[in-house]
Structure 1
Amino acid sequence: MIDAPAIDDRVINDRKARACAWFRTLRDQICAEFEAIERDAPTDLYPGEPGTFEFTDWERKVENGGGGTGGMLRGRFFEKCGVHISVVQGEFTPEMAAKTPGADKDPRFWAAGVSLIAHMRNPRVPAVHMNTRYIVTTQDWFGGGGDLTPTLTEQRTQDNPDAIAFHAGMRAPCDAHPVADYDRYKDWCDEYFHLHHRDEPRGTGGIFYDRHNSGSFEEDFAFTQDVGRAFLSTYSAIARGRMAEPWTDAEREEQLILRGRYVEFNLLWDRGTTFGLKTGGNVATILSSMPPVVKWP
């Protein structure tokens, strides 16, 4: 991230509006495709009526603090899936301001983004997470990425076909934009999504980037948009490719145990969870990333 001069209010307001519009568009595209997958899942493996997203608006409990819309799908293929958008503003606490670019001079912030977590009923279909965001203090930047979290030990290797396909999908937008660095973002993802108390990765990785400001808003925005598009096409293909595979009771049991790793990471190490809770975000959407059923034997 580079230190940038102050931005004219008209320019920054235009950037905010464009970012918000894109996050909403991406949310709509993801929800439409996930509902199509839900409908297309074979009925012999996934009986019952296909689920659809239910949307709930929320507001921060501070004046002019913004809010968002939570989207939840509880279906026959997607056991629990949340796709949320938010636009919030306020002031960082002194502790957070000291750690955030530009906030040491002025604690006010504005942030918008889209976030997703999908936990699948079929343990042979990996869970997945994605988010992209745009943040403004006295500086502005993008962040986000996506990572794959298989819930069977046999699939939690870098040479697994799903891991290979997901990394290829995440590499594509990086290679298409000179402002991005796939190798750095891959390593950053591995470093970030690591359970330090167990010294093990959360899943098979993907990309992670933060405080991304190359000096060109247009290039950075285009890259972030392509990350969203690449995620949707890549994960959709993985889910559709696995949806017809039957599973055993033993695989379901293993899935429930490995889901516990996801809970541990989000509650102990995830900065996004901390950011949301410490800035007065909606607890229901922040914690919607928790798996619907999990075991710690």
Structure 2
Amino acid sequence: MDHASRPEMLEATPAGIAAAARLLQAGRLVAVPTETVYGLAARADRDESVAAIYRAKGRPSFNPLIVHVADLTQAQEIAAFDDRARALAAAFWPGALTLVLPLQDGAPVAPAVTAGLPTVALRCPAHPVMRAVIAAAGLPLAAPSANRSGAVSPTRAAHVVESLGSRADAVVDGGDCEAGLESTIVALREDGRWQILRPGPIPEARIAAVLGTSSVPVTEGAIEAPGQLASHYAPGKPVRLGADSAAPDEFHIGFGAVAGEATLSAGGDLVEAAARLYALLHQAARAPQPRIAVAPVPESGIGIAINDRLRRAAA
């Protein structure tokens, strides 16, 4: 697509939805209306697509992204559902409930989407346009709000164009969103407890009525969904930063001119580095070397966020 013609404006018709699906399959960014705001959707199984979301929004968010699915069948390919999760899905999907559940082994989700955590946030949306796009694409879609970071959330297609301009490949114009609260986020714990990670349109009492128990307050722990305080994945090995070279017992993560055994970005692209960070920390954690060394990353722009993340991993 010619950069000057972006974003392509698509109608919420079968032809427009088919065009959106083709773009998403190709790894492009498409803004799509949901029940609450327009989401900037990308295929959830590619780090490069997540990098494109970060680039369009203006900075990476190391918060996990909510993955939007067509139905329970697609959801179960990504997360482990127990009886409680199935009961909540039966009661509230499609709708404004996001479930934080254990990630399935081999799930088709890029590590950058889950922020390197063993859990994943899933939602089956109710908006007919978003549902049609997911079905046509045949892919789970990661979709934060379709605006520059820090800007007001978009509730109509024109807002998306004003905020993102040519950074989005296309916008499906589904009219004005209802502009309600963001989805309620519930985390189901393996010991039978459950927590509200973010309040939303579905009140806690309705969830408790389905589960038959009361929720447990959120006090601390890793960030598992949007709207929580940041806490970051650590690889379980000592991490040395600013390493131009590595010792024999270190797995070396490179950047730019420092090649390493694997690289955040051979071309020195900080956005690519941000999207690849969690995947490479996972790779380093699985490597036979007992230690990890990371090449210097510039302390500027997105590099500030990457280095903050690396310092937490090294702590």
TM-score, with structure 1 as normaliser:
0.28
Larger helix fraction of residues: 1
Structure number with greater CO (CA < 8 Å, separation at least 6) is 2
The higher radius of gyration belongs to: 2
